[in-house]
Structures are given as structure tokens and as C-alpha cells.
Amino acid sequence: MSTRKALAAALALACSGAFAAGPNLGKPITPAEMAPWDISIPPDGAGLPLGGGTPAQGEKIFAQKCAACHGENARGGRNATLVGGDKIVNMDSTRTIANFWPYATTVFDYIRRAMPWPQPRSLTDNEVYALTAYILSENKLIGPDDSMNSETLPKVRMPNRDGFILRFPEKIQ
């Protein structure tokens, strides 16, 4: 290839946006290989796993794996209560799942990635669904027999969903 042709080819490659600045040492990875780490669950529930769980199932798991820190029946212990909470009025208000968290998916996402504190990501997806159902039920955000799964969880309407103001909208778009 002549120098001019090589330069033109390099320029075309650079302009295509691919392979431009770096030495291209990233290795391809497939969604299947990625799956164990791909755990973020947004408000629309995209990526929620198969399975499900009920408040009754969650109550048993909670007593066994969560109550040591969050107290009997999730009413608070060494760490935060997960039930109740007065209406948010100002910065002295205590933020709880019921009075503050805007999306139920965050409950599932956070339990699955970070709990229980000494053994994160040791729960099965069914256990996470059941614990989520238990906490939402104790807060009367769902009925006592409602099962949580990929269909039902994103539909749970949290009371404070519209309680937020974007601080810097111009930084997003």
C-alpha cells in the first residue's frame, strides 16, 4: 500500500470513531459471560431475573439473615429500620423506604448487590424477591399475599416517586 493510501485508510478508520486513540487492547466479551456481573436493575425493571417470592417466604429469610442488624420484623436494630417513617418535611426527617425511596426496583437491586452486609451476593434471586416482597408488604406498599417478580415489582408505586427535583438538568442532556 502506498503511503498516501495507508494515510487515507488510517484517516478513514479514525473518522469512523472506532480504533482511533488507543492500542485496542480490549477483549470482546459476550452477554452470557457478562451476565453474573450485569446486576443493575433500573426503575422499568429491565434485567430483572426469573423467579419470584412472597412476603411470607421473605419473613422467614429475614429472621434468619437480616434481623441481626435490622431488628425483629425489620423495625430497626443496630442498623436502619426498614418499616414505617413519618412524612418527609425537611432535612431533619428520617429517610425510609416507605417515605422516601422513589422506586421499588432499588430495594431489589440493593438487597441483591449489597446484602446481607457480611455476605453480599450470597442470596438467590428468589430470596431477594421474597425479601423485597416482605419489606414492601410490611410497609403496606403491596398486599400481604402479593408475589414479587419481574412483572409485578416495577409496577409497585412508591409514595414519594414524584418528590424529587433535578438539580442540574443541563448536565444530563
Partner 1 sequence: MARTRPSQRRTDDLIPAAANGLVDRRAFLRGGAALAAVTGYALAKPAAAEPLKDDPWSRVPGETVGTYGLPSRYEKKVARTLSNPNGEPRTQHARTPHHLLNGTFTPNGLHFVISHAGNPDIDPERHKLVIHGLVKRPLVFTLDALERYPMVSRMTFVECGGNSAPLFAHDPIQATVQALHGLSSCAEWTGVPLSTLLEETGIEAKAKWMIAEGADAPALSRSVPLKKGLDDAMIALYQNGERLMPGNGYPMRLLLPGWEGNMNVKYLRRIKLVDEPAMSYYEARTYAPILPNGKAYRFYFVNEVKSFITHPSFGHLLRGPGLYEISGLAWSGNGRIAKVLVSADGGSSWAQAALQDPVLPKAFTRFRALWRWDGGPAVLQSRAWDEAGNVQPTRAQIVAERGQSARTPPVTAFVSQHYNGPTSWAVDAKGEVKHVYA
- Point out which residues bind partner 1 (CB under 8 A): 17-31, 34, 37-44, 69, 78-79, 87-93, 95, 100-103, 105-106, 109-110, 113-114, 117-118, 120-121, 163-168, 171-173
| Closest distance to partner 1 from the beta carbon of 155 (Å) | 15
Q: Whose Cβ is closer to partner 1: residue 97's or residue 148's?
A: 97
Q: Whose Cβ is closer to partner 1: residue 63's or residue 68's?
A: 68
- Counting other chains too, the contacts that 41-48 makes at CB distance below 8 Å and 24 or more residues apart are 41/105, 41/106, 41/108, 41/109, 41/112, 42/105, 43/102, 43/103, 43/105, 43/106, 43/154, 44/105, 44/154, 45/105, 45/150, 45/153, 45/154, 48/105, 48/108, 48/149, 48/150, 48/153, 48/154
| Closest distance to partner 1 from the beta carbon of 92 (Å) | 6
Q: Whose Cβ is closer to partner 1: residue 1's or residue 165's?
A: 165
| Closest distance to partner 1 from the beta carbon of 2 (Å) | 27
Q: Whose Cβ is closer to partner 1: residue 47's or residue 56's?
A: 47
| Closest distance to partner 1 from the beta carbon of 107 (Å) | 9
Q: Whose Cβ is closer to partner 1: residue 5's or residue 171's?
A: 171
Instruction: For residues 105 and 113, give the distance between their C-alpha atoms in angstroms, rounded to a whole number.
Output: 12
In terms of C-beta density within 10 A (0-12 exposed, 13-18 middle, 19 or more buried), how is residue 128 classed? Answer: buried
Instruction: For residues 53 and 62, give the distance between their C-alpha atoms in angstroms, rounded to a whole number.
Output: 13
| Closest distance to partner 1 from the beta carbon of 128 (Å) | 13
